[in-house]
Amino acid sequence: MCNCNNKDRVKTIDVNPLYSPMEGTIVRTEQMTENEKFFEIKLEGDRKLGDLPGQFVQLSIFGIGEAPISISSSPTKTNKNTFEICVRKVGVFTAALTALNEGDKVGVRGPFGKPFPIDDMKGNDLMLVAGGLGIVPLRSLINFVMDKRRDFGEVTILLGCKQPGDRLFREEIESWQKSTDINYACTVDKADPEWKGNVGVITTLIPGVDIDVNRTYAVVVGPPIMYKFVIQELIKKGLPDKQIVLSLERRMKCGLGKCGHCQINDQYVCQDGPTFTYEEIKGLEEAL
C-alpha cells in the first residue's frame, strides 16, 4: 500500500504557448475591404505575446481548425496585452474567422518563426517594399521603426496594390504620406477616376529611389510572383544579397516543423524563417 498522498504525486504542468493554445478574446474589429478584416486580440489574464516584427501565430477556432496568421502590430504598441492581425477571406478557416466579432474567443499559439533582422538593420537605411497583402506583416516592422526612429537611417516605403480600393490601413498610409521622416510611394495596377498616383507594377517605383548600397537593407513582402522581379531591380542597383530580406510565410501550416508542408530542401520555413535573406535562399529553386 502506497503511503504517499495525492498532493505528492500531482505535478504542476506549465502550459507551453507553442503547443497548447492560450485563450484570446477579440476586442476590436474593422472591415477594411470587402475581403479583408482587421482584429485586435487580447490574451487571457496579463499574458503578453512577446513577439517581434516578422513573426506569426497559430490561430484556432474550436470546431473549425487552425491556421498560421501574420502578426501585424508592433511590440512597441502601448497595450502590450493585445496584438493585431488582418485576414483575407479565402477559405473555410478564414471565412469562419472573418465572421467573428468583438467578444468572441479564439485560440492562440506562438509566437513562431524568425523575425526580421532588426539588430542588423539598426543604423542603416531601409527600403520597405510591400505588395498587396504583404503590407500586413510589414506593418509590424514599419510601426516598430517609426517608434524607434532614431535607431535607423533613411526610411522608404513602397506599396503596390491592384487598385486604389485594395489599400489597407489607409489612415496610417496618410500619415506616412505626410511624414517628413520617411519617403513614401504607392502604385496601382489599375487606376480609378480619383487616383492621382503612379500606375504600374511595384518594380516601376524602385529605379527612382536613390540608395546607398553600403548601408541599405531592403525588406520585401508580397505575392510570390513579385519577388523575382523586385529582387532583379534591387540587384541592378547593386544591393548585396545579404541585405535583401524576404518573407516566405505563405508556405506554413503547423508552425512547429512537424508536418513538412513548408519544407524546402533542408529548410523549414516556419522554424528557419519565415524571414530569410536572399543570400540564404537564392540556391533553393522552390523558395521563390
- Say which CATH class 118-281 falls into: alpha beta
Helices 135-147 and 170-178 pack at an angle, to 10 degrees, of 40
Question: What's the CA angle centered on 164, arms 84 and 145, to 5 degrees?
Answer: 40
What's the CATH number for 22-112? 2.40.30.10
Q: The whole model's pTM is what? A: 0.89
Judge residue 101's burial from the number of C-beta atoms within 10 Å of its C-beta, 0-12 exposed, 13-18 middle, 19 or more buried.
exposed
Q: Please give the pLDDT value at position 46.
A: 78
CA distance 199 to 220: 20
Spell out the per-residue pLDDT of the chain, length 288, in tens. 445 454 444 444 455 767 788 999 999 999 999 999 999 999 988 788 889 999 999 999 999 999 999 999 999 986 678 999 999 999 999 999 999 999 999 999 999 999 999 999 999 999 999 999 999 999 999 999 999 999 999 999 999 999 999 999 999 999 998 999 999 999 999 999 889 889 999 999 999 999 999 999 999 999 988 999 999 999 999 999 999 999 987 667 777 777 777 777 777 787 888 999 999 988 776 666
**Spans of all domains in the chain:** 22-112, 118-281
